[in-house]
Amino acid sequence: MSVPAVQKAAIVQSTGAKLQIHDNFPVKQASELAPGECLVKLVCTGVCHTDLHAAKGDWPIEAKTPLIGGHEGVGHIVAIGAHTQDSPVQLGDRVGIKWLAYSCLDCEYCRQGLEQVCPKGKYSGFTVDGTFSQYVVSWVSHVTPIPENLDSFEAASILCAGITVYRAIKYSKAKIGDWIALPGAGGGLGHLAVQYAAAMGLRVVAIDTGAEKRDLALKLGAEKWVDFRESKDLVADIKAATGGAGPNVAVVTATNSAAYEQAIDYLRPGGTLMMVGLPGQGKLAADIFFTVIKAINILGSYVGNRQDAREALEIAARGKVKCYYAVKPIGALEETYEGLEKGTVVGRIVLDMQQ
């Protein structure tokens, strides 16, 4: 397969610098790939809030610079490093690039399926260049095969947003028939969470604001809707929506601490707060007394491992979860960041990388 010498790429030169679109960024050639590495020619890539955090440097850990962000890419393998042993993927395969680009597969965490926290982990669009370029280098052991009947643009956002919420719900202790509260239900992660929750037999209380997000959440399977801007008493309204006792589980993807603290208040006794959002700063100021006497569980979930990725994609391929997205060219990345910052992006933005 022929690989060009240069490509389009969106580059952040230094932390907080303005994004630049280059037309002649060098493509790593097949001969330059190390064993275990592969080169993927992208069809498309989703844009995640994490990319914005990485570009702005507003997390306690810093991204590499210059940085090519992006970690929701779908494309075809066009080269595999020489001397790669037992590759699970082959030339021409359609694969996904997710946040966790590489892990050692041998440490205690990797062996237990918690490869996201591998000390040798590499992260797409953060510690290694990501998918905001037409070609991306990844690892044969970690790229995710895309099910045949799932469209590439549909698959893109499942690779981060989908996996993240799927795993969070899967490990939240929620069981069929339980109420689940989903703050941010109309956003990128939230609208996928609504569908995974519904597919898993949970009853969804969607929390967000505005008619567009309300309509989307209800259409996707939410049973109740609470508008946090219109509500005079959010905790009371969420409890009332579930018949008074409060939800069994809250999966919180917000980047402000208030949404986490409120969950402790509206969860029913024995309920579980699953924390998923990654605010740069923010503390959980839960009341210890009431957390204890309500027997509340507080858990955290971080993206997902290779198995979670395959399960999340499989559910989408079966039509149970559909990403609501708009397609834009790579040149629209800057305005997408602005929309994410203002909270005006409904669903997800996917960049067409073939243009």
Q: Which CB atom, from 152 or from 164, has the smaller least distance to Zn ion? A: 164
Locate all alpha helices (DSSP H) within the chain, ordered by sequence. 49-56, 108-111, 152-156, 161-170, 188-199, 211-219, 234-241, 257-266, 288-293, 306-317, 333-342
Q: Which CB atom, from 40 or from 118, has the smaller least distance to Zn ion? A: 118
Q: Nearest approach, Cβ of 72 to Zn ion (angstroms)?
A: 6
Q: Which residues bind Zn ion (CB under 5 A)?
A: 48, 50, 103-104, 107, 110, 118, 160
Q: What is the CA radius of gyration of the chain?
A: 20
Q: Which CB atom, from 103 or from 305, has the smaller least distance to Zn ion? A: 103
- Of the candidates 131, 154, 129, 19, the one whose C-alpha atom is nearest the C-alpha of residue 72 is 131
The span from the CA of 80 to the CA of 90, in Å, is 8
Q: Nearest approach, Cβ of 23 to Zn ion (angstroms)?
A: 26
Q: How far is CA 165 from the centre of its chain?
A: 7
Q: Nearest approach, Cβ of 53 to Zn ion (angstroms)?
A: 9
Give yes or no for a contact between 66 and 13, defined as CB atoms under 8 angstroms apart.
yes
Q: Nearest approach, Cβ of 221 to Zn ion (angstroms)?
A: 23
Q: Is 343 left (phi over 0), alpha (psi -120 to 50) or beta?
A: left
The span from the CA of 280 to the CA of 215, in Å, is 30
Q: Which CB atom, from 27 or from 40, has the smaller least distance to Zn ion? A: 40
The span from the CA of 224 to the CA of 238, in Å, is 9
Q: Nearest approach, Cβ of 120 to Zn ion (angstroms)?
A: 5
* DSSP string for 37-78: EEEEEEEEEEE-HHHHHHHHT-SSSPPPSSB-----EEEEEE
Q: Nearest approach, Cβ of 205 to Zn ion (angstroms)?
A: 24
The span from the CA of 180 to the CA of 100, in Å, is 27
Q: Which CB atom, from 109 or from 179, has the smaller least distance to Zn ion? A: 109
Q: Nearest approach, Cβ of 297 to Zn ion (angstroms)?
A: 25
Q: Which CB atom, from 50 or from 131, has the smaller least distance to Zn ion? A: 50
